Amino acid sequence: MKQKLIAIFLAFIMVGSVIPYLFSGSSQPEENNPEDQTNAPGFESVSGKHVDHKFNSIDDALKMTPEGVVSAQYFDISKIKGTPIENLINLNRTAPQGMYNANITKTYSANYNGSQFQLHTFTPEIVAFQYTSKSYNGYQLLGRSNGIYNVIGNPTILGSEEKVKDVIDVLSKDSENTDKFDRIISYSNPDAEIQVVQDIPNDFADQYYLGISKLGNNNYQRNIVYLNPSNSTIDNISQLEANSTERGVEFNTTTEGDVTKVVVEGNLMSVISEPQPHSSMNNTNQTQP
């Protein structure tokens, strides 16, 4: 049962973490080549404007995100590396280092109905890939393969031409960024290594936030924030909190108006395998969204 809960949890946080159609066949990214890193030109080799935006949390990334997003994921790879959680997730899937022939340090994916874009920071800040270039609103769109483009900067944008232009429009103040998740983000943990938001109206809640962070005592903390949780979700929260000590976790719940926040603390395996309140407690075959 515990292994199944862990598998479900990992599948959930990995949804949309990569753009699967970016590379195919001979275009599949290779392992980092130190020689290529040494010889590659830096960001300054790309003319025009470069992206320059705060990128330390999912909240920062959402401020760059055009309207219409239905879910998003943020991973601080620099915090995850060398910790126990690195062994549980596939970092090459979350942040394929060969994409830039550099070390990705943070990654974000915004998912729409049938499309997505990503944001990355990486080191060294080099342009170690072949591209064609076109200009848009002062920025250079670097064409990769399969209709995918980069816009260099901190963070670097990755996506289809349409999505990349949409992000540039937000940066240029020509269109509004999404404010869909502002309510639940105000209850989030901005320092969490892994952060996820989902828009799920008429489900177990209207919206959902998940944050995973490592604590100073080597334990982990899982924050879940629900906007307008269903009655069954609230009932499950109460049941899980009532017997949390038997499962070896600290379980704390707070409710303010239409927002309910659940904070779980314990060792990594206990936190990861802890049932999520919106999952049926009586049906072990049910999966999470």
- Judge whether 282 lies within some domain: no
Last residue of a domain, one of 110, 145, 171: 171
The DSSP code for 126 is B
CA torsion sign for 41, 36, 155, 162 is: positive
Structural domain count of the chain: 2
Q: Specify the pLDDT at position 125.
A: 96
**Mean pLDDT (the chain, rounded):** 85
Query: Quick one: 46 and 159 in the same domain?
Result: yes
Q: Specify the pLDDT at position 105.
A: 94
- Give the pLDDT confidence of 94-137 residue by residue, as tens digits: 666 678 999 999 999 999 998 999 999 999 999 999 999 999 99
Query: Quick one: 41 and 126 in the same domain?
Result: yes
Please count the other Cβ atoms lying within 10 Å of the Cβ belonging to residue 252. 11
pTM summary value: 0.87
Query: Quick one: 59 and 194 in the same domain?
Result: no
- Give the pLDDT confidence of 260-280 residue by residue, as tens digits: 999 999 988 888 877 777 664
Of the listed ranges 17-26, 42-51, 142-151, 230-239, the least confidently predicted one is 17-26
Query: Quick one: 167 and 210 in the same domain?
Result: no
DSSP H helices in the chain? 2-14, 34-39, 58-62, 77-80, 91-94, 161-171, 182-185, 231-242, 268-273
State the residue range of the domain holding 71: 2-171
- Judge whether 137 lies within some domain: yes
Strand ranges (DSSP E) for the chain? Answer: 51-52, 71-76, 103-111, 116-123, 132-136, 139-143, 148-151, 153-154, 156-160, 194-199, 207-214, 220-227, 250-256, 259-266
Query: Quick one: 152 and 193 in the same domain?
Result: no
pLDDT band for 284, please (50, 70, 90 cuts): very low
- Judge whether 29 lies within some domain: yes
Last residue of a domain, one of 148, 171, 194: 171
Query: Quick one: 35 and 125 in the same domain?
Result: yes
Cα-based angle 228, 242, 12 (whole degrees, multiple of 5): 50
Query: Quick one: 121 and 51 in the same domain?
Result: yes
Q: What share of the chain in percent tops pLDDT 70?
A: 81
β-sheet bridge partners, residue 220: 214, 266
pLDDT band for 158, please (50, 70, 90 cuts): very high
Query: Quick one: 111 and 189 in the same domain?
Result: no
Query: Quick one: 159 and 217 in the same domain?
Result: no
Query: Quick one: 17 and 151 in the same domain?
Result: yes
Query: Quick one: 164 and 186 in the same domain?
Result: no
Instruction: Single out the residue of 168, 208, 159 nearest to residue 188, CA to CA.
Output: 208
- Judge whether 225 lies within some domain: yes
- Judge whether 253 lies within some domain: yes
Query: Quick one: 63 and 124 in the same domain?
Result: yes
Last residue of a domain, one of 116, 137, 171: 171
- Give the pLDDT confidence of 162-193 residue by residue, as tens digits: 999 999 999 999 999 999 999 999 999 999 99
- Judge whether 14 lies within some domain: yes
- Judge whether 162 lies within some domain: yes
- Which CATH number is 224's domain given? 3.30.200
